[in-house]
Structure 1
Amino acid sequence: MPHNTRKTILITGASSGLGEGMAREFAAKGRNLALCARRTERLEQLKTELEQLYPKCRISIKALDVNDHEAVFHVFQEFRREFGCLDRVIVNAGMGKGASLGTGYFHANVQTAQTNFVAALAQCEAALEIFRDQNQGHLVTISSISALRGMPRAMTVYAATKAGLLALTEGIRADLIRSESPIKVSCILPGYIRSEINEKVKKTPFMIDTQTGCRLLVKAIEKEPVTAYVPRWPWAVIGFLMKRLPLKWVMKLG
C-alpha cells in the first residue's frame, strides 16, 4: 500500500510533546486521527482545535494508560471498529524518569522500563493483530538516538529501553520479511527535539524546537523507512560515530 494512502493514523501519547505535534502535522495533511493518552482534557482541547482548523479530518480520542495492557488491545480494537481500518499506528507514548542505578531510584527506573518497553510491546502486539487481520498497515516505533549506546545517570534505563525498542522493531520486521507480509515497519530515532520529556534540560547541543522536530518526524514517517534519524543532520553522522567510538568519547558527543 503506497504511503500517501495511509488515511487513518493512531498515535499513542498524543496529549503532549511529539505525539501532539505529529497529530497536528498529520491533520494538516488531511488524515483521520485516532488519538489516545492518559490526559483526556488535553486530547479534548487538541480535538476541538484541529476540527476547527481542518473540518474534513475525522478525529477520535480515547483515554489510555499504555501500562494497562488489556486496555491497549481494547482501545486499538475500538478505534479500528470506529474507523473500519487502521492504516498506521505510531507507538509514541513514553517517559524519561530515572537516575544512576544503585542510588535509590529503582521505582523511577522500573517505571520507565515498563512504560517504554513492556507497554511498547503491548502496543506493537495490538497493532499487529489488527494489521495481520487487515493484511496491511504501517507500524512506527519512536525510539531515540540514545538507543545506539549505553548512557549515564538519568539516561541509563531510558537509553536501554530505546535500544530494546529498536531491536524489537527490527525483530518484527524480520518476522514479516520471512512471511512476505505487506505490513511495513519503521523505527524512528529522534535526536534532541524539545518536548515535555526534556523541557528542563538546558544547554543541549543540536536541540530543535517541537514544531520543526514534529514536521521532520512526519516527513520521515511518510517515507516508511526501515530506520531514520530525525533530523538527519547532524544525527546520521553522530549516530555513525556513536556506534564506533570508545564509550568515554561518546559521552562527550552529548
Structure 2
Amino acid sequence: MTQAVRKTILITGASSGLGEGMAREFAKQGRDLALCARRTDRLEQLKVELEQAYPTTRVSIKALDVNDHDAVFRVFKEFKQEFGSLDRVIVNAGMGKGASLGTGYFYANVQTAQTNFVAALAQCEAALEIFREQNSGHLVTVSSISALRGMPRAMTVYAATKAGLLSLTEGIRADLIKSNSPIKVSCILPGYIRSEINEKVKNTPFMIDNETGCRLLVKAIDKEPVQSYVPSWPWAVIGFLMKRLPLKWVMKLG
C-alpha cells in the first residue's frame, strides 16, 4: 500500500542541526514547510535559501520557544490556519545539557528534562488536537538510541528524557489504535549524527555527517514506520544488543 504524500510538514527546532537538515531534504521533495525555532535570524536565512533553491516550495517561519507551552498551541494553530491543514508534525526541538546527578548541575539537568520531555508533550498535544480535528496526520517524535538504556554523566538525564519520549509515543499510538484512528505515529531513534548538539563530542564511533544523517532521517520518516533506527546499520544491531546486555557492557558500545 502506497503511503499518502504528506504535503505540509511542521518541524520544531528547525533553525539548526537535524531540524534544519530535514527541512532542506523535504524542500528538495517539494513539500511545504512550517518551520519554527527560537532563533528567527537563522530561520530567516533558511527560508530565503530554500525559496531561492526551490521556488515551488512554500516556507513559513515563526518564532517558538517550546518551553512556552501556550505558544506551542498558538503557533501550531496559526500554521494550520495558514496552510489549511498540517499533514505531518516532527517533534524535533531538544537540548543536551547536563552532568552527573549530585554534582551541582541540577539547573542544566532540569532544563534538559523540561525541553526534551515536557515541551515534547506539549508539541504532541498541540499536533494531535489538529490531527484529531482533521482525522488525519502523521506525528513524528525524534528520540535517540540512548533511549534504550540508562547512560552515564552528561547523558543521564538526556537518555531518560528520550526514553520517556519513546514510551509516550508508543502510548499515543496505542490510544489511536484503540480508537481506530487513521492518524499515524512514528518514533525515530537516531544514532550518532554530527550536529550542533554534539559538535564537541570527540572519538565517537559510527558518527555520520549531518547531511547524510538528515537524508536518512527523511527517508525513514517518509516510510511512516512505528519505530526506526537511523541509520539502520549498525544501530538496529547495536539497539538489539543494548536492550539485552549487562549495563557495564552497554557502556562499551558507544
Q: Secondary structure at the match of 2:141?
A: strand
How far residue 2 of structure 1 moved from its aligned partner, in angstroms, is 5.3
Are the counterparts in 2 of residues 4 and 222 from structure 1 also a CA contact under 8 Å?
Answer: no
For 2:225, the equivalent position in structure 1 comes to 225
- The Cα RMSD (Å) is 0.8
CA distance in structure 2 between the aligned counterparts of 1:139 and 1:169, rounded to whole angstroms: 9
CA positional deviation for 1:3 = 3.4
Match of 1:146 in 2: 146
1:79-103, CA deviations, whole angstroms, 9 ceiling, x for partnerless residues? 0000000000000000000000000
Q: How does 1:1-254 map to 2 (within 5 A)?
A: 3-254=3-254
SS at match of 1:5: coil
For 1:204 and 1:109, the matched residues in 2 are separated by 22
Distance 1:145 1:238 in 2: 9
Following the alignment from structure 1 to structure 2, what is the Cα–Cα distance between the partners of residues 140 and 15? 18
CA contact under 8 A between 1:184 and 1:224: conserved in structure 2? yes
Q: Which structure 1 residue ranges, 5 or more long, are not aligned?
A: none
* Paired residue secondary structure (1:218): helix
Q: Which whole-Å CA distance do the structure 2 matches of 1:14 and 1:5 have between them? A: 21
In the alignment of these two chains, the number of paired residues is 254
Structure 1 length normalisation: TM-score?
Answer: 0.99
Q: How has the CA–CA distance of structure 1 residues 169 and 112 changed in structure 2, closer, same or farther, with 3 Å as cutoff?
A: same
- Rounded Cα–Cα distance in structure 1 between residues aligned with 2:54 and 2:81: 23
Instruction: Give aligned-pair identity as a percent.
Output: 87
SS in 1 for 2:79: helix
Once the 2 structures are TM-superposed, how far is the Cα of residue 4 of structure 1 from its aligned partner? 4.5
Contact 1:242 1:250 in 2 (8 A): yes
Secondary structure of 2:61's aligned partner: strand
Q: Which amino acid aligns with 1:30?
A: G
* 1:154 shift after superposition: 0.1
1:5 to partner: Cα distance: 1.6
Q: Counterparts of 2:88 and 2:138 in 1: how far apart (Å)? A: 5
Unmatched tracts of structure 2, length 5 or more: none
Q: Distance in 1 between matches of 2:210 and 2:245?
A: 29
The separation in 1 between residues aligned to 2:101 and 2:25, in whole angstroms, is 38
* Matched residue SS, 2:9: strand
What is the TM-score when the length of structure 2 is the normalising length? 0.99
